[in-house]
Amino acid sequence: MTAPEFPDVPDLLAQMRAHDDVDAPRPPNTLATIRELANRQTPEQRQAAREYGERVAFGLDALDLGETFLEQGNLDAAARWFAVAVRYDADGARAELETVEQLQAAFAEPGVPDDSVLGPAPLEQRPHDDAAARGISTYTLDWADREAERITTEARDEAAAIVQNAKSSAAALVLDAQTDAARIRAQAHRDAEMIRARAADDIQGHDERPGAKSGTTLWKLDFSEPADSQLWRARWCSQTGAAPADLRLALEFAEKALAIHAAETASLEKRFDQFMDATFSRGELVERRWFTGARSRLWDVARSLKLFVPSLPWPVGRDERPPIVWDGPRVISEQEHKSVVAEIHATLGRHEHRTTDTVPSMRDSNRDVTVVDMCGRSARLVFQAKFYGSPSALPVLPMSEDDGLIVITDLSAP
Amino acid sequence: MSTDSSDNTLDSFIREWDSKLVAYIRKNVPTAEIAADIAQGVWVVVYEQEGDGPVPDNLAKLLFGIARHKVADWHRANTARQSVPLTSLLAEIVETPSREAEPGESLRELPEHMQDAFHELEKILPRLTQRERDAVILRHYVGMPVDEVAAAMGVKQYAAKRFMAKGLRKIRTLLSQAGYTISVSTREMP
């Protein structure tokens, strides 16, 4: 059998009243009936009634004063007035007095400053002190000051501990990031070693071809040198007639060199604030930093590439060698595009390649895209620039653009 | 409060507060007759204090302060009866044929479990502080609005609300500890 559920307390009290005889008919009290009752009493009884009322009023006033002093923290004055209220039988005064006495006893316990150490006796007040004028004892003020100082000290210590922990965590993060950077750098070195080995093999094969120039020694490149130096060597290779395969490897090699350079020059501490905002993980940060550094470096690479590209000894239609296959996008600066196009013109004229109707021209500066069909067979070289070429001339070619840089994509697909 | 400021005489004050005073006293004494007698004694004291002139704004506080004293006086004067548990006293009152109650309204005709709840409530109320008990009784038994409760207790309205909330919370806790299931009311506070 489940216990019956009762209405909530307010409803319960209302039902109690409904079942009591509170609202039973009775003659209401009026001023006339009360006056008549009073007049029936003896003068002594009336005087006693007046004194009764005065005692109640005095007790209520004493209770109010005690509560006021208690709110102000003046326990001694509060205790005195509550004691007065108790003498006048004010309801609740005794409970309030007991509460104040418990507070006073608690403050007198060890650990709570007492007046024997801090100053005047509990009931003593300084005559011209503002606090005393406001009715606040120096005991309470001194204790409050000590408490405030203690809380401040604790908060300061806690803050110092938090900062120390943060520094330790930050050091660990930096260490992790440096480890990641070292790992990336080592991987880049390994890749570059593989490229150099392949380049050495290719050069060896090229040197064995009849009429080929010898002496292009990519494999002699020093990985410890700056990326710009590597690129200069690559460009030098092209201008000296190195084989296309050599040039492709040189480009790949240059990118790896850039990766190494970016990883080595990464200043993790300067970007430490990026750790702290926790918008990306440590691994992402390393990747992001590499990307940022590599892109800024590629800007410089592009300045070399614009000389590099037109100097290619285009093989198509001459020695029937396979078309050049570039693995990925190459980036040149937007500021250099005119020189690039001019040199392409020179290259085209030199090799008499057939071109599309949208032969790059300085006169086409109002166009967006220039498409150069280098041979009409398998390889096309596509230049994307903001103010070159015609969009209609570029119906299907996959293009990519990145933040104001010009992306050159070589497509060898038929 | 509904006191007309233009009519702040003792007569209008008595008319406004008399039934509330009687109900409050009734909750603290066993019978309506006792409550009516005590209420008259309270009004006499107030009359001797204030006379026929205009009444002060905080007279309700003095009125209920005097009432509490008069109730305490009555309990002191009736020590033998006071020693009897309130529940037994209540049962005795129910058994009394002379008690003026309309047929169908007596506690005897309440469901037994409700009588139990009322008795439990009577036992619990004295465990509240004086002010918590007064706030709960004035608000929910007497039926005063909050501003009148605050005036009768001589406190600010927020303090009166705080006493009410604490008192209700205590009663609910004690009732549930006694094994009663209380349905949650949607009108938590006035």
Inform me whether the pLDDT recorded for A244 exceeds 60: no
Residue B140 contacts A, CB cutoff 8 Å = yes
Q: Give the per-residue pLDDT at A198.
A: 64
Q: Which chain A residues are within 8 Å of B105, Cβ to Cβ?
A: 18-19
Tell me the average pLDDT across B125-152: 89
Question: 3-class secondary structure for A245-291?
Answer: HHHHHHHHHHHHHHHHHHHHHCCCHHHHHHHHCCCCCHHHHHHHHHH
| More confident site: A387 or A155 | A155
From the list B31, B44, B105, the residue facing A49 with the nearest CB is B44
Q: Which chain B residues are within 8 Å of A52, Cβ to Cβ?
A: 45, 66, 69
Please name the residue of chain A whose CA is at the shortest distance from the CA of residue B188. A10
Q: Which chain B residues are within 8 Å of A22, Cβ to Cβ?
A: 22-23, 26, 32, 35
Q: Give the per-residue pLDDT at B5.
A: 43
Q: Do B14 and A60 touch (CB under 8 A)?
A: no
Inform me whether the pLDDT recorded for B92 exceeds 70: no
Residue B168 contacts A, CB cutoff 8 Å = yes
Q: Give the per-residue pLDDT at A221.
A: 39
From the list B18, B62, B100, the residue facing A57 with the nearest CB is B62
Q: Which chain A residues are within 8 Å of B187, Cβ to Cβ?
A: 10
Quote the mean pLDDT of chain B: 77
Chain A: nearest CA to B63, how far in angstroms? 9
Q: Give the per-residue pLDDT at A121.
A: 43
Structure tokens that stand for A184 in this block: 């990336």
Residue B96 contacts A, CB cutoff 8 Å = no
Inform me whether the pLDDT recorded for A384 exceeds 60: no
Q: Do A10 and B140 touch (CB under 8 A)?
A: yes
Quote the mean pLDDT of chain A: 55
* A380-384 and A406-411 strand pairing: antiparallel
Q: Which chain A residues are within 8 Å of B110, Cβ to Cβ?
A: 19
Give A288's pLDDT tier (boundaries 50, 70, 90): very low
Q: Do B185 and A90 touch (CB under 8 A)?
A: no
Q: Do A53 and B107 touch (CB under 8 A)?
A: no
Contact predicate A159/A165, CB 8 Å: no
For the stretch A299-324, pLDDT in tens is: 333 333 322 232 233 333 333 433 33
Least confident of A16-30, A56-70, A252-266: A252-266
**Which DSSP string do the residues of A226-244 spell out, in sequence order?**
-HHHHHHHHHHHHHTT--H
φ, ψ for residue A384, nearest 5 deg: -115, 125
Q: Do B175 and A56 touch (CB under 8 A)?
A: no
From the list B36, B72, B105, the residue facing A26 with the nearest CB is B36
For the stretch B173-184, pLDDT in tens is: 888 887 777 776
% chain A with pLDDT above 90: 0
Inform me whether the pLDDT recorded for A379 exceeds 50: no
Q: Do A6 and B105 touch (CB under 8 A)?
A: no
From the list A32, A53, A92, the residue facing B131 with the nearest CB is A92
| Residue bearing tokens 């004194």 | A51
Q: Give the per-residue pLDDT at A300.
A: 37
Q: Do A34 and B44 touch (CB under 8 A)?
A: yes
Q: Does residue B50 sit in helix, strand or coil?
A: helix
Q: Which chain B residues are within 8 Å of A19, Cβ to Cβ?
A: 105-107, 110, 118
| More confident site: A113 or A298 | A113
Q: Give the per-residue pLDDT at B73.
A: 86
% chain A with pLDDT above 70: 35
Q: List the helix and strand counts (H, then E) for chain A.
A: 13, 5
**How many Cβ contacts (< 8 angstroms) between chains A and B?**
163
For the stretch B40-69, pLDDT in tens is: 899 999 998 888 778 888 888 889 999 988
Inform me whether the pLDDT recorded for A337 exceeds 60: no
From the list A24, A34, A92, the residue facing B100 with the nearest CB is A24
Q: Does residue B9 sit in helix, strand or coil?
A: strand
Q: Give the per-residue pLDDT at A141.
A: 61
Residue B36 contacts A, CB cutoff 8 Å = yes
Q: Which chain B residues are within 8 Å of A26, Cβ to Cβ?
A: 22, 32, 36
Q: Which chain B residues are within 8 Å of A8, Cβ to Cβ?
A: 172, 182-185
Compute CA distances A94 → A61, A99, B128, whole Å: 15, 9, 14
Q: Give the per-residue pLDDT at A126.
A: 45
Inform me whether the pLDDT recorded for A104 exceeds 60: yes
Structure tokens that stand for A152 in this block: 């401040």
Least confident of A56-65, A221-230, B28-37, B70-79: A221-230
From the list B52, B140, B181, the residue facing A14 with the nearest CB is B140
Burial readout A260-281 (b: 16 or more C-beta within 10 A, e: otherwise): bbbbeebebeebeebbeeeeee
Q: Give the per-residue pLDDT at A72.
A: 81
Inform me whether the pLDDT recorded for B133 exceeds 80: yes
Give B6's pLDDT tier (boundaries 50, 70, 90): very low
Inform me whether the pLDDT recorded for A68 exceeds 60: yes
pTM: 0.45
Give A241's pLDDT tier (boundaries 50, 70, 90): very low
Q: Residue ranges of the alpha helices (H) in B1-144?
A: 10-28, 32-50, 59-77, 79-82, 86-95, 112-124, 130-136
